[in-house]
Structure 1
């Protein structure tokens, strides 16, 4: 059975646009998934990337065109300039890490709820109330957000180091235990084909 390490940032619009397709693909092929939220702003300088605010205007102009196109293809609402972006991604990431450790809910639904809160609902994913709502929506105990902060912080930092070691440089990024990596929500079809033995 294949295993996928899913590296992503809770600030990433492209992780939002991935929706639940990763989980659908994993289920189709009997693959397991480990969710590894990370600090994307710390990842960029370590892997040759540039934070959006520092990118060349031509790159930002393309991003402003491409995101709405991809959102339309995915059938997902998108606010190109969310009211609370960027924000502190650590609290939502800690909650995802804690939920994964605790179990009992739907991880895909949780990740999507957090990303949707940022990119479609104009909510600040650094706020406790928003995080608790997302946990509850996904079937987790909302009090998870108040527990395990130290272990969450340690795992969040470890995810960044794991990502650098695995060759990850953006979000979303999918690393399969076969040695193959796939970057971007637009490579999920390739991941599907790879797990089917066709690519």
Structure 2
């Protein structure tokens, strides 16, 4: 059975634009999928990337154009300059890690958190927003509170694993055969690879 490590950031618009497709692709091919939320700014610092606020204006302008095009292509609402961005990604990441350990609709939770930030003008660092997203995905609203220490340790480990495995952006998919796919626009390539 194939396995996919899905490294992503809850504050990444490109991670949001994956929607639930990573889970759908994994299910289609009988593969397992591990959600690995991480500190994207830490990943950039460790792998030669640049935070969006520090990029050259031409790169920043292109990013906004690409977000508009990619959102239209997948039919997802997206505000390229949301009110609560950047924000602290750790609380929402802890909720996802706790949900994955619990079992359930993790894909739905990841999508709800992304939509809260990028389509609903909500601050995903706030407890009430996280609790609402957990509830929408069928989890207990206080799930993240119960597993904070374990989730924090996993969140830190995810960054270390991402660097060690060669990830440098988000979303980043790495198979158990070390095939790497960077970006939501590479999901078709992941799908094709798993198909053989």
User: What TM-score results when the alignment is normalised by the length of structure 1?
Assistant: 0.97
In the TM superposition, what is the alpha-carbon distance from 1:137 to its structure 2 partner?
A: 0.7
In the TM superposition, what is the alpha-carbon distance from 1:64 to its structure 2 partner?
A: 1.1
| CA–CA separation in structure 1 for the residues paired with 2:59 and 2:49 | 12
Could you tell me which runs of 5 or more consecutive residues in structure 2 were left unpaired when the two chains were aligned.
none
| CA–CA separation in structure 2 for the residues paired with 1:66 and 1:152 | 32
Q: Tell me if 1:94 matches 2:94.
A: yes
| CA–CA separation in structure 2 for the residues paired with 1:37 and 1:101 | 13
**Structure 2 residue aligned with 1:135:** 134
| CA–CA separation in structure 1 for the residues paired with 2:7 and 2:178 | 15
Could you tell me which runs of 5 or more consecutive residues in structure 1 were left unpaired when the two chains were aligned.
none
**Structure 1 residue aligned with 2:187:** 188
**Structure 2 residue aligned with 1:15:** 15
> Cα deviation per residue 1:109-136 (whole Å; 9 max; x = unaligned)?
0000000000000000000010011111
4+ aligned runs moved over 6 Å, structure 1: none
Aligned length: 196
**Structure 1 residue aligned with 2:45:** 45
Whether the 8 Å CA contact 1:128–1:145 is kept in 2: the answer is no
Aligned pairs for 1:1-199 (under 5 A) are 1-103=1-103, 105-197=104-196
Q: Helix, strand or coil for the counterpart of 2:27?
A: helix
> Cα deviation per residue 1:161-193 (whole Å; 9 max; x = unaligned)?
000000000000000001101000000000001
| CA–CA separation in structure 1 for the residues paired with 2:18 and 2:151 | 24
Provide the alpha-carbon RMSD of the alignment: 0.6
| CA–CA separation in structure 1 for the residues paired with 2:86 and 2:143 | 24
User: What TM-score results when the alignment is normalised by the length of structure 2?
Assistant: 0.99
